[in-house]
Amino acid sequence: KQEVTQIPAALSVPEGENLVLNCSFTDSAIYNLQWFRQDPGKGLTSLLLIQSSQREQTSGRLNASLDKSSGRSTLYIAASQPGDSATYLCAVGYSTLTFGKGTMLLVSP
């Protein structure tokens, strides 16, 4: 059974700092890995999707990497802004996603 773990559970940083969120999974036979953002009480916004054959994806200030052999993915956020404050979720799978419990990020001005 696939299990997804995200560390840290919560993170508080000052504006402008670069930061890394971590995601690990137990079964390396994944199809895709997806990073989402969730604002309080709201739905999920897809940030990046990495196919199993890829090693990284970039979108603006976000960069996600995937290392299947070690069962890890990282989400790098450059020059953090208060608007980045949200919960970041990592999910693996193809049709049925298995989610981690998320990292709650607070970026203070």
Q: Per CB under 8 A, does 76 bind another protein?
A: no
Site stretch for another protein (CB under 8 A), options 20-28, 63-71, 73-81, 98-106: 98-106
Residue 84: strand, helix, or coil: helix
Residue 83: strand, helix, or coil: helix
Q: Per CB under 8 A, does 95 bind another protein?
A: yes
Using the rule CB under 8 A, which residue among 23, 91, 92, 107 binds another protein?
91
Nearest to 61 by CA among 103, 18, 11: 18
Site stretch for another protein (CB under 8 A), options 18-26, 63-71, 74-82, 100-108: 100-108
5 token code pair: 């773990």
Burial tier of 96 (Cβ tally within 10 Å: 0-12, 13-18, 19+)? exposed
Residue 20: strand, helix, or coil: strand
Q: Per CB under 8 A, does 5 bind another protein?
A: no
Build a one-symbol-per-residue string for 24-63: x at contacts with another protein by CB under 8 A, - elsewhere: -------xx-x-x----xxxxxx--x-x------------
Residue 106: strand, helix, or coil: strand
Give the binding site for another protein (CB under 8 A).
31-32, 34, 36, 41-46, 49, 51, 89, 91, 94-102
